[in-house]
Chain A
Amino acid sequence: MYDVAIIGAGVIGAGIARELSRYDINVALIEKENDVSMGTTKANSAIIHAGYDALPNTNKGKFNALGNPMFDKLCEELDVPFKRIGSYVLAFSEEEVKTLEELYQRGLDNNIPGMEIVKRDELLKREPNLGDQVVAGLFAPTAGIIGPWELTIALAENAVENGVELLLNHEVLDIKKNDTFKVITNEGVIETKYLINCAGVFADEIHNMIAEKSFEIKAWKGQYYLLDKMKEPVVNSIMFQCPTDKGKGILILPTVHNNTLIGPDSEMFDDKDDVETDSDNLSFIQEKAKRTVHNLPMNQVITSFAGLRAKPSTKDFIIEEVKDVPGFFDVAGIESPGLSSAPAIAVYVADLVKAKYEDLKENIAFNPIRKAVPHFMSLSNEEKQALIAKDARYGRIVCRCEWITEGEIVESIHRKVGATTVDGVKRRVRPGMGRCQGGFCGAKVMEILSRELKKDIKTIVKDRSDSYIITGETKEVRS
């Protein structure tokens, strides 16, 4: 019996789990996939928005404004890559400059600090690669970039270190309630006093298992290009295009690992698992992006991918205890700016749970600090020496694009929320993220996973449980 069970281990679920681990209660974090951060958290623009965009009297506006300033402390505590590099909304005509002025005004209403409208001449000094048609830009210095799955893995790891139980590979099939909730999963029944729905694009389906249907979530797909690291960055800050009647435009930004991200478009699909890319959409993105940056180095593309947005029919985040089902909380429809709002949402929801108790005791053992797996190549030569002396496996480079050592991979596997798949290792310590996309290190990573987890290498999967890699041994006799 748990006090609280959370369905969905994305950035929202993991964030709430960590906030609740500050208290002396039993918390379960339930996830249907074999790792955390496998849904909308896995593929998005990785931006912490300044917060001028959302309307002030909405949940989106409120939580974005609250969430943004929380990232410095949070990322320091959890040792997660985060850079406040600022963002520009670019205007391509005098008409669009008016939109910038409206956004500027809305930003003031949302109490967004430090904004300014920058004219082309000054803009080019800061961002020399901008296109010929750019007239001006609205600068917001508090916007930042983050590693979304690094954040989520860190949140989950810290939550587990502080007592939360993570139940991976548990798919919720149904929910019953009498005194308590009975969450029926493929791995058995989980009983809990309170239940929090953070199921991303599936939050409506979870809601409907126990409550009256009150909203719908549609999966809106966005596609992206990822470019290789380059000596000279394409852009130094996040570059939005001015929103028009035709849509929000395409953005170009550096990632925390110095790659360049270009995208996304936006298209609704019925299949909530559909993350395939389409060449027409990608060409569209490329065409649009060329307005922002001239001579876009498309020969540096290392991959393209698609992510989903959980778009609610209510148009705003749904964060509430469901009226007809006391003790059941929806945290649903967390589309953009969901990542930016996540820390504020986590605190707010933890407070909702806390209010259920007369006197909720704190977890005296709570430790907010979590250290990332050391990134060997960014250490000083002395630190490198010391780490190799401690564990010689830090002396062996496995991934030669990102310079990742065997020591880092081994540690990512043995962490509390450890990697069990090739992509799980990749999300934690990045082998395979680089230009060879795992061509050299993939087999080696499989070997290390097999050895460290004491599993037959034939059972090591790429990502989700059915993504098997090896089909058998050579020279097998065929029956």
Chain B
Amino acid sequence: MKHYELVVIGGGPAGLAAAIEAKKNGIEDILVIERDKELGGILQQCIHNGFGLQMFKEELTGPEYAERYIVELGKMNIPYKIDTMVVDITADKEISYMSVAEGFVTISATAIVLAMGCRERTRGAVSISGTRPSGVYNAGMAQLLINTEGFNVGKKVIILGSGDIGLIMARRLTLEGAEVVGVLSRGGYAAGLARNVVQCLDDFNIPLMLNRTIIKINGKDRVESVVLVDMDENKQPIPGSEETVECDTVLFSVGLIPENELSEKADIHLDRKTKGPLVDDTMATDVDGIFACGNVVHVHDIVDFVSFESEKAGKNAAKYIQGIRGKSRSHVKTKAGNGIGYIVPQEIQLVHDEKIVELFTRVRHVDTDVKFVVKLGDKVIREIKKNHVTPSEMEKIVIAASALELSNEILTVEVTKEGV
């Protein structure tokens, strides 16, 4: 069985950044495994711009952002396999993959970085009744068909879900001559970034329909119409508000889920909230020597943050391989308190000489004039004021590592209203 020091599963932005950073930290024997025909992951079909503002202080398209890492990988002579699918991982760090070129192969690794990304939630997951005609797409599949394959998917389109992919596809379809009847949000706000609402909807006069959803899809063979309904504040349909709207296409942009089938095969435990592996502050999972980063851990809204997180995973995997992972200086577990959706990492260990600890979190509701309160046990260790918070934007909270040293208490983050 061939052995590698580090195997990175996934050649998207997360895997590329982790591999490059591991090499920079002295690891020579690396293999990146990518299932698609090229490196770059989902970025390759994201031909719009807006990537790289944090990382490169430039506005790049998805393929351009990916290209920077692919070129870097090449310069550093990091080996990779494309068109190759990992089908199994064990807790002993044996990896089985398949490809046309090599067939079915099992290898082993000293450390593994999981960077498989995420997938879209489907129509089934949001339970919409009616028929099952053609013309119903996940936004990502429509994006692939249009941007990568060069085919149009419909002429009159309704988009359910106001996440970033939904917003971006509304603009993309409009540019290809389709009529986008509207982008629906079940809640009272858009789920995507504010800049995307402006640049993708407002600039093209595409209506954003808040508190509104699809309850039924009609059409025997192809979509013929949908039934829309208004939602009350408890996200329940308001009877009598039903409206049938003709269209030939429905796009679903109803959220993303980390893709962790492989993680579960390796007996890695997942967080019920993020649906990604439980990780510590070095991006290590609860299986020794297996690290994880990017959207497989929690869904990010900006790729730059995926890259930062993955550099951390790559660097720490390198230290693990070199045997310089220290002893835990902290046993703090994090807990999402009032108003908080989740926190990554779920555990803080301080195994290296960290000065700071970064917590990534999302609030549960849109709000203004709030503060984040970070508590260790009952003791408040940090407060941060915020003018505006929304679940669509990930928040980073930095705390001093010294505050957590030798503690085994629970660290809670909660949102409170200013002045209360």
Chain A CB within 8 A of B138 CB: yes
Contact of A392 among B100, B123, B138 (CB under 8 A): B100
Partner of A277, one of B99, B119, B130, B144: B130
Cβ-based interface call for A458 (8 A):
yes
| CB neighbours of A468 from chain B (8 A) | 134, 221-222
Q: Which of A95-103, A211-219, A470-478 contacts B (4 or more CB under 8 A)?
A: A470-478
> Which chain A residues border B221 with CB–CB below 8 Å?
463-468
A443 to B143: give the CA distance in the assembly, Å: 11
A273 interface residue (CB < 8 Å to B): yes
Q: Which residues of B contact A462 (CB under 8 A)?
A: 133-134
- Interface residue? B323 (CB, 8 A): no
CB of B153 within 8 A of CB of A470, answer: yes
Cβ–Cβ < 8 Å partners of A463 in chain B: 134, 221
A467 CB contact (under 8 Å) in B127, B133, B218: B133
Q: Does B220 contact A (CB under 8 A)?
A: yes
Q: Give min CB distance, A267 to chain B, whole Å.
A: 13
Whether B218 contacts A276 by the Cβ 8 Å rule is yes
Q: Are the C-beta atoms of B103 and A436 separated by less than 8 Å? A: no
Question: Is B13 an interface position by the 8 A CB rule?
Answer: no
Minimum CB–CB distance for B89 against chain A, Å: 14
Of A273, A279, A392, A461, the contact of B127 (CB 8 Å cutoff): A279
Cα distance A395–B135 in the bound complex, in angstroms: 31
A189 CB within 8 Å of chain B: no
* Minimum CB distance partner of A438 in chain B: B141
Q: Are A395 and B122 in touch, CB under 8 angstroms?
A: no
Flag if B129 contacts A472 (CB, 8 Å).
Answer: no
Q: Is B176 an interface residue (CB 8 A)?
A: yes
Known: A395-B98, A461-B134, A472-B152. Contact between A276 and B103, CB under 8 A? no
Quick one: which of B344-370 are within 8 Å of A by CB? none
Minimum distance in angstroms from A404 CB to a CB of chain B: 11
User: Contact partner of B85 among A397, A466, A472, A474, CB < 8 A?
Assistant: A397
Q: Is there an interface contact between B127 and A282, defined as CB atoms closer than 8 Å?
A: yes
Residues of A within 8 A of B218 (CB): 276
Q: Is A284 an interface residue (CB 8 A)?
A: no
Query: Would A473 and B150 be within 8 Å (CB), given that A305-B132, A395-B104, A462-B133 are in contact?
Result: yes
Q: Which residues of B contact A302 (CB under 8 A)?
A: 122, 124-125
Stretch with Cβ within 8 A of B (4 or more), from A9-17, A172-180, A383-391: A383-391
Asked if B399 is at the interface (CB within 8 A of a chain A CB), the reply is no
Which among B87, B122, B152 is the interface contact of A397 at CB below 8 angstroms?
B87
Q: Are A389 and B87 in contact (CB under 8 A)?
A: no
Chain B interface size, as a band, is 35 or more
When each residue 302-341 of chain B gets 1 if its CB lies under 8 Å from chain A and 0 otherwise, what string results? Answer: 0000000000000000000000000000000000000000
A396:B145 contact, CB within 8 angstroms: no
| Shortest Cβ gap from A424 to chain B (Å) | 13
| Residue pair A395, B103 in contact (C-beta under 8 Å) | yes
Q: Which residues of B contact A400 (CB under 8 A)?
A: 35, 85, 261
Q: Are B220 and A443 in contact (CB under 8 A)?
A: no
Chain B contacts for A472, CB-based, 8 A: 151-152
Of residues 421 to 440 in A, which have CB atoms within 8 Å of B's CB atoms? Answer: 435-440
Does chain A have a CB within 8 A of B91? no
Residues of chain A lying within 8 A (CB to CB) of residue B48: none
Q: When the two chains form their complex, are residues B129 and A279 in contact, meaning their CB atoms are under 8 A apart?
A: yes
CA distance A476 to B153 in the complex (A): 13
Closest to B248 in A: A471
Cα-based distance from A132 to B153 in the complex (angstroms):
49
Closest CB of chain B to A419's CB: distance in Å? 16
Interface residue ranges of B168-199 to A (CB < 8 Å): 176-177
CB contact between A279 and one of B124, B134, B154, B215 (< 8 Å): that residue: B215
CA distance A282 to B130 in the complex (A): 11
The residues of A that contact B141 with a CB separation of less than 8 Å are: 438-440, 442-443
In the complex, A400 Cα to B120 Cα: how many Å?
Answer: 13
Report how far A392 CA is from B154 CA in the complex, Å: 35
Q: A276-B131, A443-B144 are in contact. Are A437 and B123 (CB under 8 A)?
A: yes
Chain B residues, CB < 8 A from A276: 129-131, 216, 218
Shortest distance from the beta carbon of A441 to any chain B beta carbon, whole Å: 9
B155 interface contact, C-beta 8 A: yes
Complex alpha-carbon distance, A278 and B127, angstroms: 10
Tell me if B222 and A395 are in contact (CB < 8 A): no
Which residues A257-308 have CB closer than 8 A to chain B?
A: 273, 275-279, 281-282, 301-305
Interface pair A395/B99, CB less than 8 Å apart: yes
Q: Would you call A457 an interface residue if the criterion is a C-beta within 8 Å of the partner chain's C-beta atoms?
A: yes
Q: For chain A, residues 315 to 357, give those with C-beta under 8 angstroms from any C-beta of chain B.
A: none
Query: Which residue from A231, A278, A466, A471 sits with its C-beta under 8 Å from B129?
Result: A278
Q: Is A360 an interface residue (CB 8 A)?
A: no
Q: Is the CB of A473 within 8 A of B151?
A: yes
Q: Are B130 and A301 touching (Cβ within 8 A)?
A: no
B129 near A273 (CB under 8 angstroms)?
no
How many Å lie between the Cα of A478 and that of B261 in the bound state? Answer: 44
Minimum Cβ distance to chain B for residue A294 (Å): 19
CB-CB nearest in chain B for A442: B141
Q: What is the CA–CA distance of A26 and B83 in the complex, to the nearest angstrom?
A: 47
Interface-centre pick from B128, B153, B222 (highest chain A CB count, 10 A)? B222
Contact A301 B103 (CB under 8 A): no
Q: Which residues of B contact A75 (CB under 8 A)?
A: none
| Interface hub of A276, A462, A475, A478 (most chain B Cβ within 10 A) | A276
Provide the residues of chain A in CB contact with B123, threshold 8 Å: 303, 437
State whether B103 touches A471 (Cβ < 8 A): no
User: Within the assembled complex, what's the spacing in Å between the Cα atoms of A296 and B263?
Assistant: 25
> Cβ of B146 < 8 Å from any Cβ of A?
yes
Q: How far is the CA of A392 from the CA of B177 in the complex (A)?
A: 40
- Docked complex Cα distance between A304 and B124 (Å): 7
| Cross-chain contact A388 with B104 (CB below 8 angstroms) | yes
Q: Does B378 contact A (CB under 8 A)?
A: no
A406-457 residues with Cβ-Cβ distance < 8 A to B are 435-440, 442-443, 447, 457
A235 in contact (CB, < 8 A): no
- A393 within 8 Å of B (CB atoms): yes
Q: In the assembled complex, how far is the CB of residue A38 from the closest CB belonging to chain B, in whole angstroms?
A: 12
Which B residues are CB-close (under 8 A) to A388?
98, 100, 103-104
| Closest chain B residue to A377, Cβ basis | B87
- Most chain B Cβ neighbours within 10 Å, of A301, A381, A396, A405: A396
A468 to B155, CA, bound (A): 12
* Closest-CB distance, A416 to chain B (whole angstroms): 26
Residues of A within 8 A of B140 (CB): 439
| B203: interface (CB < 8 Å) | no
The reply to whether B131 and A275 contact each other, CB–CB distance below 8 Å, is yes
Does any Cβ of B come within 8 Å of A74's Cβ?
Answer: no
A438 to B125 Cα, complex, angstroms: 13
Residues of B within 8 A of A303 (CB): 122-124, 132
Having A231-B264, A275-B131, one finds 9 other A-B pairs with CB under 8 Å, namely: A304-B124, A397-B85, A405-B98, A435-B119, A436-B120, A437-B122, A463-B134, A469-B134, A474-B152
Can you spell out 10 A-B residue pairs with CB atoms less than 8 angstroms apart?
Answer: A275-B131, A281-B129, A304-B124, A385-B103, A389-B103, A395-B102, A438-B141, A443-B144, A462-B134, A467-B135
Q: Which 3 A-B pairs have the closest CB atoms?
A: A462-B134, A466-B221, A303-B124
